[in-house]
Amino acid sequence: MRVLLTAGPTYEPIDPVRFIGNHSTGKMGYALAEAFAEAGFSVTLVSGPSALTVAHPSIELVRVQTAEEMFRAAAAVAPEAHVWVFAAAVADYRPRTVAAEKIKKRDDGEDVLVLELIKNVDIAAMLGQTKRAEQFSVGFALETHEELAHAQGKLRRKNFDMVVLNSLRDAGAGFRHDTNKITLVEADRVTPFDLKPKADVARDIVSAILARLNAHVA
């Protein structure tokens, strides 16, 4: 079985020396890659800029920078993958134009610089439209309010079979932490888990996906 994973942030260039990014470290995605490899999967890990590396021989790491690059790399693998897991923190917007030269500080007395942004491709939603009956798609949702309603909305809109909900309200969960507290949201059930190290969270997610795949085959 093959799994396609996206992980990390994306960097959207403003000019040759600047970008728009976010605080994602890629920890959850890389821990998932490891857990899937240990469970016997062939893993393609499409990762935005991250300091992390992979060791397991069953993990192929494809490094990208932008949402557009992440989309192209993921789309190339998606048809052959049985499971898709979208753990990346994809920038929702990018600068509409990328300046060819470094943008110089204004010296005309005006202190405001306006940067125009345009929506990025929604990788999970785009690929979700191509999902076949035997494929299983998992998304992440990081929410600060009305968590369950937002997660259920994403489940429907992006054709996910499962959403891993992270609540930013839980201390020690989310970006820049080694622990996470998740709730698995599916069409017919909601399963909360305790706060755990990300490696254990990854194993919980892989176990839940395997259980659903087995139920599907049975």
Cβ neighbours of residue 180 closer than 8 Å, sequence gap 6 or more: 28, 166, 173, 174, 195, 196, 198, 201
Indicate if 214 belongs to the active site.
Answer: no
* Ranges within 130-159 binding ligand CTP (CB under 6 A): 139-142, 154, 158
Residue 179's SS3 state is strand
Q: What are phi and psi of 75, to 5 degrees?
A: -65, -30
Write each residue from 64 to 103 as x if it is in contact with ligand CTP (CB under 6 A), else as -, in one continuous string: ---x------------------x-x-x-x-----------
Amino acid at 216: H
Residue 149's SS3 state is helix
| Residue 120 binds which of ligand CTP, Ca ion, none (CB < 5-8 A, kind-dependent) | ligand CTP
> Among the candidate windows 14-22, 35-43, 118-126, 209-217, which touches ligand CTP by CB under 6 A?
118-126
Q: How far apart are CA 147 and CA 143, in angstroms?
A: 5
> Among the candidate windows 15-23, 86-94, 106-114, 196-204, which touches Ca ion by CB under 5 A?
86-94
The tokens of 101 are what?
Answer: 């030269």
Write each residue from 6 to 35 as x if it is in contact with ligand CTP (CB under 6 A), else as -, in one continuous string: x-----------------------------
For residue 126, list its beta bridge partners: none
Cβ proximity to Ca ion, 121 vs 210, nearer residue: 121
Residue from the set 92, 170, 186, 200 that interacts with Ca ion by CB under 5 A: 92
Residue 211's SS3 state is helix
Distances (CA, A) of 218 to 57, 189, 208: 30, 19, 15
Interacting residues with ligand CTP (CB under 6 A): 6, 67, 86, 88, 90, 92, 120, 122-124, 139-142, 154, 158
- Which sequence positions are flagged as catalytic? 22
